Structures are given as structure tokens and as C-alpha cells.
Amino acid sequence: MQAARGTSLSDAEDRGDRGDAQAPRAAGRVRLRWLLAAIAITAYAVDVVTKVLAVEHLSGRAEDVPLVGDLLVLHLTRNPGAAFSTGTEYTVVLSCVSIAAVVVVLWLVRRVGSTVWAVALGSLLAGVAGNLTDRLLRDPGPLRGHVIDFLMLPNWPVFNIADICINIAAGLILVQAFRGIRLDGTRTSEDQ
């Protein structure tokens, strides 16, 4: 049956130059970006709220607050450095590296073509932005602020939700690398 003048006979004509595979792929990328944004915003909000609550309820306490016996304890610290309190004299450099990391992740978002990559980059963005917020807004001043850490495990440095997000992201990125899945969702073996 012939369509009226100006109307298409198939969905392929509606897509124009994008072709059959391009439209679903583009819609999938939009969904992945929304997933990434939802994870980043939610995890960032949880990090900020828990840090505010930690400062409000743990400041000035002489003793730790056990959450799960001695396994997980609330212990407030202000960390001027990086992981394990290393590089405490390089707080401004760490802040600049964090700003660059946020920019790079935001630039990479446009290429996300895999759910695992979307979760990884959303978690990474939340974690880096969470700790960067402390470095920008907390004492002793912009780019020199100390990160609020408040979760403590036995024989492990004190950490926060942002640190958990960064570690989840690192783990997922390693999984994708070992699986050979690129950021756009293609496999590295497709080149060969």
C-alpha cells in the first residue's frame, strides 16, 4: 500500500541518514547517560548529607560511635591529603587534579555505550565531586579544604561515601578492561 505524499512507508525513512542501527543505539546512549546522571547525583547527595551529619553529630566527641560492633565505627577526621592521608602538603594540587578528573569524566559521558561503564563513571563522578566539594568549601579555604572522613574499619584508614564510590568505580573499570569492553560498549576483539 502506498503512503500519502510526504509520509514515510517505514521507520527507516523516519530516521533519515542515521540508518537502522543508529536510532536504537542513540536512544540507548541517552538512557545510559540518564543512568549515569542518576547514580552520580544520588551518590553525591548521599556523600554530602552523610558528611554534614558526621560533622554535626561527631564533632567534639571524645569516643568513637560503634555501628557494627568494632567492625564499623564512626570516627570523624579531617583529611588534607589523598588516600591514606598521603600528600597532605599537596592539597591544592589534589584539588586541581580532582577538577581535571571531573572535567574528563563529563567529557567521556558522551561516549558511554555500556551499562557497567555508566555505573562506573557515575560512581567516579560522584566520588571525585564529593571530595572536591570538601576541598573547595571546607576550612582552611578554597582548594585547601580538608575532606571529611568518618567511617572506620579495623586496620584501615578512615574513609567516606565518596571514597567508596571511587573504589567501586575503579573495580568496575578494571572489570571492563579485563572483559575487553570499551567505553562505547564495543569489544576490543572486534578490531581483529
182 three-class SS:
coil
187 three-class SS:
strand
* Catalytic-residue membership of 14: no
Rounded to whole angstroms, the Cα distance separating 131 from 146 reads 9
Question: Which among 14, 70, 139, 163 is annotated as catalytic?
Answer: 163
Which residue intervals of 59-189 are DSSP H helices?
A: 91-108, 115-137, 161-179
Question: Which among 20, 149, 184, 191 is annotated as catalytic?
Answer: 149
* Catalytic-residue membership of 163: yes
Residue 22 identity (one-letter amino acid)? Q
Grid coordinates standing for 71?
A: 567492625
Residue 157 backbone phi and psi in degrees, to 5: -65, 155
Sheet holding 65-68, edge to edge: 65-68, 72-79, 147-152
Rounded to whole angstroms, the Cα distance separating 124 from 105 reads 8
Could you give the residue numbers annotated as active site? 149, 163
